[in-house]
Structure 1
Amino acid sequence: MHYLFDLIKGAMIGIANIIPGVSGGTMAVSLGIYDKMIYSITHLFKNWKMSLKILVPLLLGAGIGIVGFTYVIEFLLANYTLTTAMAFIGMILGGLPILFRSLGKSLKDNQEHLSLVHILLFVIFFAIVVVLPMLQGSEASLTAFELNAGSLIKLFLVGVITAATMVIPGISGSLVLMILGYYYGVLNTITVFLSALRNWDTAILFDTFFLLFVFGIGVLLGIFLISKAIEFLFQHYSSYTYAAILGLVIASPFAIIYNTHALGDLHASMAWLYVIAGLVLMVLGYIATYRLGEKE
């Protein structure tokens, strides 16, 4: 049953990573598995049995979430933007009680008091998440990548950068991809790969698989490098790290609403229905995330 819960959590993290403005790291924090996930990544070679026991169901779930919900998320964001955004905001906010308790425990264990430094870190990282969506450019490639040396180098480097932001709570890897101008290119490469797999078009299947494989190698390297840095911060500056993460997480709803243009649904004829459905899903999302997090 524990592996099933981790599989579900992994799927939620995977889905979060493909939605611009939603952070997979934030979802991991909200689900109460962030510390465990970081520790497993950084100790993969030292304690591989324990690490794989934790990471395999999470990675499998994330893969299922990304592949299985790519089309679903595109449909929901296109047709029910506000309702979908509110559901994810509820999921993210459901992790706040656990995060506040973690900060309090860290302060107590280190015999510290809430200081000006904690507040400044919170404000700075809150501001980063609020400003980041505003940097998004209007131009983004709508076509899939083609198999050539330039695309492979770009995808590897973008994978490293994106993965680093995926691990950091509050920073959306998809949003960073969008700012860099590669979000739709990567997303369309995934959909082309899935279409080729469904039709068993071996030529396109090979090209897109190789492109996504190189991107995946960059992602894995980025995750490993940033996880090492985050583990160091948790070990030596835990309360300050929690204060910064709180700023990132609390600012996330703004990034989601702004980046998805969800408030545009308020001008629709069925706006009241979208809002009511969104509020119901927000409460359910809050409860689901809180319960899953409490199990940790």
Structure 2
Amino acid sequence: MIENNRIKYSLAGFFMGVAELIPGISGATVAVIFKIYPNLMTILSKLRIKHLSFSLSSLSKKFQFDLLLPLIFSMIAAIILCSKAINFLLNNYEENFLTFLGCLMIILSLQIINFFKGILHQKKLFIFIFLGTSIGFILGQLDVESENISIFYLILSGVLAFSFFLIPGISGSSMLVVLGIYSPIIGAIANFNFDILIPFALGCLISLLLLPRLILSIYSSYEQSLLYLFSGLIASSGLLLL
């Protein structure tokens, strides 16, 4: 069982890494599909100073290193191995590639919630699908341009980008595109421009420390409704890629 879970988290990490390379697809979406999202959020919610220890065994148990490390290493491997391939497809077969991704996301959005079974028994779940779809389309229509990027804007962008890494539906890189700073952030990473990277990383850290516990708490209390909300977000993200 333990070995199977390691393989499961390794596969999930690999596909999460691939997903985060493409604006429009969320790594958290992959976590939901592999059914590791609640546990992953549980692990991230424990990232508090009071939980840190000099005992490796204690840290390993608290943060489930046997599962988390394979996931992280697989994500890194995916980013290294697949970035050139995905870039080639986007540059040479963009329309076909995005159409394929869009259709795949729509199908997966239905699979996540076992749509045709659950929706017949609880009609009120239509509300959450509609709400998620609407939010997804609204976010997709935003067009923010920023020529002179302030430190506050970079911090805010980091918070939003990492927040959408935690929430199924829209990837962090999509939010960077929406916010108009995808190219500056990519350029900053490539050129080690710490004037941009440090405020952005600070925003990501703020999101990492503050939001996982809140998201997990809400998810635990309203799991089914949120799955339908997430499904709407995922479906609308797929439609926007078509």
TM-score of the superposition, structure 2-length normalised? 0.76
1:114 alignment partner AA: Q
Q: In the TM superposition, what whole-angstrom CA distance separates every residue of 1:39-91 from its partner, at most 9, and x where no partner exists?
A: 21113456842423332222232233334444433322121113322443465
Deviates more, 1:230-239 or 1:68-77: 68-77
* Counterpart-to-counterpart distance in 2, 1:228 and 1:177: 24
Task: Work out which of the residue numbers 60, 79, 82 in structure 1 matches 2:95.
Answer: 82
- Name structure 1 gaps, 5 residues minimum: 108-112, 194-206, 258-296
* Counterpart-to-counterpart distance in 1, 2:196 and 2:81: 19
- Residue matched to 1:272: none
* Counterpart-to-counterpart distance in 2, 1:168 and 1:94: 16
* Cα distance, 1:28 vs structure 2: 1.9
Contact 1:156 1:214 in 2 (8 A): yes
Contact 1:21 1:252 in 2 (8 A): yes
Q: How many percent identity over aligned positions?
A: 26
1:30 alignment partner AA: I
Task: Work out which of the residue numbers 63, 66, 83 in structure 2 matches 1:53.
Answer: 66
Deviates more, 1:45-54 or 1:230-239: 45-54
Determine helix, strand or coil for the equivalent of 2:170: coil
Task: Work out which of the residue numbers 89, 114, 123 in structure 2 matches 1:100.
Answer: 114
Q: In the TM superposition, what whole-angstrom CA distance separates every residue of 1:156-200 from its partner, at most 9, and x where no partner exists?
A: 33211111112111123222111211111112233x24xxxxxxx
* Counterpart-to-counterpart distance in 2, 1:216 and 1:60: 20
TM-score of the superposition, structure 1-length normalised? 0.64
- Name structure 2 gaps, 5 residues minimum: 52-57
Q: 1:59 to 1:74 in 2, by over 3 A?
A: same
- Residue matched to 1:238: 223
Quick check: 1:254 aligned with 2:239?
yes
Displaced runs of 4 or more, over 6 A: none
- Residue matched to 1:222: 207
* Cα distance, 1:224 vs structure 2: 3.9
Contact 1:30 1:91 in 2 (8 A): no
Contact 1:163 1:173 in 2 (8 A): yes
* Cα distance, 1:97 vs structure 2: 2.7
* Counterpart-to-counterpart distance in 2, 1:18 and 1:79: 17
* Cα distance, 1:129 vs structure 2: 1.1
* Counterpart-to-counterpart distance in 2, 1:140 and 1:9: 35
Contact 2:9 2:70 in 1 (8 A): yes
Task: Work out which of the residue numbers 135, 139, 144 in structure 2 matches 1:132.
Answer: 139
* Counterpart-to-counterpart distance in 2, 1:156 and 1:7: 31
Q: 1:43 to 1:91 in 2, by over 3 A?
A: farther
Q: 1:250 to 1:135 in 2, by over 3 A?
A: same
Query: Map of 1:1-296 to 2, 5 A cutoff?
Result: 2=4, 3-44=6-47, 48-50=59-61, 51=63, 52-89=65-102, 92=105, 93-94=107-108, 96-100=110-114, 114-116=122-124, 118-137=125-144, 139=145, 154-190=153-189, 192-193=190-191, 207-208=192-193, 212=197, 215-257=200-242
Q: In the TM superposition, what whole-angstrom CA distance separates every residue of 1:173-231 from its partner, at most 9, and x where no partner exists?
A: 222111211111112233x24xxxxxxxxxxxxx4468546534432431343322221
Determine helix, strand or coil for the equivalent of 1:169: coil
* Cα distance, 1:100 vs structure 2: 2.3
Contact 2:109 2:235 in 1 (8 A): no
Contact 1:30 1:96 in 2 (8 A): no
* Counterpart-to-counterpart distance in 2, 1:56 and 1:79: 34
